[in-house]
Structure 1
Amino acid sequence: MVVESMEIDEPVFVTRPVPPLAQPIMSYLKDGSLPKEEVSARQIQRRAKAYTIINGELYKRSVTNILQQCVEPAEGQEILRDIHQGECGHHASSRTLVGKAFQHGFYWPSALQEAEDVVRKCNGCQSEVVGAGTRSVRRGGSRFDQDLFIDFLFVFLIRV
C-alpha cells in the first residue's frame, strides 16, 4: 500500500487581524518596538504585561486569569448581540453582557459603550422601562395602570 503525500492549501491556524488599538502592544511583544513618544512608550510597556501572544493571536489576561482573545469592535458587537438576543438570550443589562462576553474569552476596549448601545436600541428592553409621566407601560406582558395604582395608594393614605 502506497501512501501519497497530501498538500494543504489553507493554513492550519486561521489568524485574525490584530485590532488597531492593540497593534502597538502586539508589535512591542513581538519585537520590542516602542513609539518614540516617551509617555506612549511607558503606557504600552505597562499595559503589555497583561497581554500574551498564542499562535500569532493577541490575548489579554483578565484579573481572574481568564485569557481573553482580542477582537475587532465589529466582531465584539456581533458577540454582544448574540449574547443579548440569541437563542439563550435574556435581554440582560449592559454590564452583564460585557461580563458574559469577557467570561467567554473575548476582549475589546470599547465593550461597555457598545453594550450600552445594544441595550438602548433593543425594543424588548425598552418596553421594560417604566417611564415617568406615562399612563400605562408594558411590563412583563401585562398592562400596568398608573392611575389605578395611585388610587390604591390613596385609599391607604400612602403619599407618592
Structure 2
Amino acid sequence: MSATKTNSFMQAGSRGKSRRGRTPSIDMEKIENAVREVGAQMEDISMKDVADFLGVNVTTLYRHVGGIDGLRRIRASLSRSDLPALPATKGHTWQSWLKVLADYYRSALLQHPDLLDFVQAALDPDFLNLEQEASILVQYGFEPRA
C-alpha cells in the first residue's frame, strides 16, 4: 500500500463522520427531555429536530424510538402525565359524569393537541384511564363486557 493511499485512508477515518464502534450516549430519559424541550418550541416535532437537540444523527434516534410515531407516542405520554386525575364521580349520575368527562377531555385536547393522534386511534396512550372509565360506568350499573 502506498503512502498516498494510507494517508487518504487515515484522513477519511479521522474526519469523525462515521460513528461505527462508538454509540452516542443517549437513553430514553434524554430522549424524553429532548422531546419535551423541542415540543415546547414547536407545534409538531421531527426526528431531525430531536436528533439535533441531542447531538446525534437521525439514524441513532431511529434505533431508540423506531421513527416519528415513537416520538409522537413519547410526546403524548408526557402530555398525558401532565393532565389532572379523572373527574370525581361523587354527586353525579352516570349521565352528568359523562358530561363532566367530556369537558375534561375537551380541555385536555385543547391544552395538548398532540394527544389527538391517539384519540383518533381510539386508544389512550397508557390505557389506564380507559380502564378506570369503564370501571366507573360498571359501578353506575352498566354491564361489563369482555
- TM over 0.5: same fold? no
Normalised by the length of structure 2, the TM-score is: 0.33
Normalized per residue, the structure richer in helix is 2
Which of these two proteins has the greater Rg computed from alpha carbons?
A: 1
Q: Which has the higher contact order (CA 8 A, sep 6+)?
A: 2
Normalized per residue, the structure richer in strand is 1
Normalised by the length of structure 1, the TM-score is: 0.32
